[in-house]
Amino acid sequence: MAQKILIVEDEANIAQLLHLYLEKEGYETQIAPDGGKAVELFRSFAPDLVLLDVMLPVMDGWSVLKKIREEGKTPVIMLTAKGETDDKITGLEQGADDYIVKPFETKEVLARIRAVLRRTMGEEENAGGKKLSFDKLVINLDAYELMVDGKRIDTPPKELELLYHLASAPNRVFTRNQLLDEVWGFDYFGDSRTVDVHIKRLREKLEGVSEAWSLKTVWGVGYKFEVTGS
C-alpha cells in the first residue's frame, strides 16, 4: 500500500508541483491550502508524513505542528522560506523531524522524505525494548515517556530522543554534530545551538534528581550521560 503524504502549502503552484512529483514517485498525496484544512485532513487522511509550510492562512505552521504533536508522532518536515537559525530551532524544538528551506529542488524533498520515513519506520519496527532505567530515571522511547523520581514529565519528542541516545551509551562523549546527525538524522551545517537548547531544557527537568548519573558538558567537545554509580 502506498505511503501517504499530506502537503500543507498555500502557494498553489508549489503544492501542485509537490503533488505531481510525489504521486509519480508512488506516494498517495492530499493538499491542504491552509492550517485549518491541514488539521482536518491530518485526522481524516491519516498521513504517514506531513510536509508543512510555516507561513499559512487561518493557522500558521507552528500551530498546526502543535496540533499534530498533541495527537501523535507522525513525522513532519517543515517547509520555510526563511533560512534563519531561529526558525530551524523553533521547528526542531516543537517536534519537527526535518526542515527544508525554499526554494528547494524536488529531488532534495524526496531524499528528505525517504530519510525521515526510513528512520521513523525503522524505529517502529525495532520498538521492542526501547526503555532505559537508571536511579530515579526511566526513559521509555516505546511510549515516549520520561519518568523522573516516579513522576511522568512532559517532554517533547526530540528532547526524549536526545536523552535516550546519550543514555544508551553511558559515559561516551558525543560531539554536537554527531548528535544532530544521529538524533535529527540530517546535517545541520555546523549550527549546534539547537543541541545546547535541548540539553538546557533536559537539565531543568533532571537537575539534582540523582547522584548516580548526570548530563555533563565536555568543554570543547560535546556532551555525555555520565553514570557514576548504581
Residues 58 and 143 in one domain: no
Q: 0.75 exceeded by the pTM?
A: no
Model confidence at 124, pLDDT cuts 50, 70, 90, reads low
The residue behind cell 536511579 is 135
Q: Supply the pLDDT for residue 94.
A: 77
Check pLDDT > 70 for residue 88: no
Cα–Cα distance list, 121 to 83, 88, 183, 192 (Å): 28, 23, 15, 26
Residues 42 and 140 in one domain: no
Order of strands across the sheet that contains 4-8:
28-32, 4-8, 49-53, 76-80, 98-101
CATH number, position 186: 1.10.10.10
Check pLDDT > 70 for residue 122: no
Domain assignment of residue 55, given as a range: 4-125
Check pLDDT > 90 for residue 10: yes
CATH number, position 45: 3.40.50.2300
pLDDT tens, residue by residue, 162-184: 999 999 999 999 998 888 878 87
The residues, ordered by sequence, that sit 6+ positions from 103 with a Cβ below 8 Å of its Cβ are: none
Q: What mean pLDDT is predicted for residues 87-107? A: 78
Residues 114 and 136 in one domain: no
CA 63/CA 124 separation, integer angstroms: 26
Q: Supply the pLDDT for residue 230.
A: 46
pLDDT tens, residue by residue, 11-61: 999 999 999 999 998 999 999 999 999 999 999 999 999 999 998 999 999
Residues 152 and 222 in one domain: yes
Q: ω before 103 within 30° of 0 (cis)?
A: yes
pLDDT tens, residue by residue, 144-166: 889 999 899 988 888 898 999 99
Residues 103 and 169 in one domain: no
Of 107, 125, 143, the position where a domain reaches its end is 125
Average pLDDT value over all residues in the chain: 86
